[in-house]
Structure 1
Amino acid sequence: MTDALLDAALAEEATKKSGLIWVQGTGPARALWHVWTEGAAHVVGDGPGEQPLPGLADGGSAQVTVRSKDKGGRIVAWNAEVVELAPRSEAWEAAVAELKGKRLNAPDSEQMTERWARECRVLRLEFRGADRALPDGSLAAAPLPTPLTTRREIPAALPRLLFKKRKRAS
């Protein structure tokens, strides 16, 4: 019983302090911004301009990996039950109040909560136990494909601009 309480406390503290968590449902793991409130991690997404939440379904399970904010290494991994909050419910309002403060660069900050209620999903990731098994190898993976990635040759003048010596002011 003591180990379970310590695992829950570690997962809560690490998740609170981390800006991103890696969440894996039925698909590949994705980095998601979140807030920890009322005993669980909350994420918003699947709407226009918001983070995708593929593979996370109401009543399903997920594995959450929490990284160190300063070093980026894995601190803890924990299992979660995914609960989709009904728009305008008491739990939804409480989660959205916290999420709203953490959402950076929203194009419509005044109408953001209305848009979330209409077009997005708010998910609660409830702690269901720590994953104590450490991976055998590296957890590094190739980035997920996205239409936003471009590969072009660097401009010919770029190395000169980057490596030119600055004249010292005398």
Structure 2
Amino acid sequence: MTGFLRIERTARATGTATSLTEAKAHLRLDFPDDDPKLDALLRAAELEIERLASLAVVPQTVIVTAPRWPGGDSDEMSLPIGPVLEGASVAVTVEGEAFDAFEIDHGERPVLRLTRDPAEDEYWSRWRFAYAAGWPIGTAPSDLRAAVCEAAGWLFDGIGHDHRAPAQAPALSRAAARYRGVRA
């Protein structure tokens, strides 16, 4: 499905899923000297887990475009970035015209389901999906927040050290694998 999708993340919230205070407690750091560096590493770790797991750990707008209906012969498609929280809307256009014959299954792995078959000309037309994804600031699941802390600590401790060590914190890889999901 994602081979021909263009996925763009915009309007990312300015906060982080894990506060600097939470990260410092997790990493047992109590001095303020490196706070700006640690904050930058937290943001880098968040971006990495978002990329690995196709998640939005903070609120952001996701725009997906496709040259034709991305669900193939099916009347449903998985939205590529989750979660889409209950009450969040999805704006769908076909060749720039609003399309509203669908419903959304909200959650970590959201699904858009058509309520009518697209017409032949709609099926082969350009589709655009715009939606808000992500948990509110500071409310991402605790295992994701802990993985972000661990990854930031891994990067922080690795500055100037042996570069033969793994480039990614194992906790980040494990958390990403749990949330990644399997797609056909």
Q: Same fold (TM over 0.5)?
A: no
Highest relative contact order (Cα 8 Å, sep 6+), 1 or 2? 2
- Shorter chain as denominator, the TM-score bin is under 0.3
Task: Say which one has the larger Rg.
Answer: 1
Q: Which has the higher helix share?
A: 2
Q: How high is the TM-score relative to the length of structure 1?
A: 0.25
TM-score computed with the length of structure 2 as normaliser: 0.24
Task: Determine which structure has the larger strand proportion and give its number.
Answer: 1
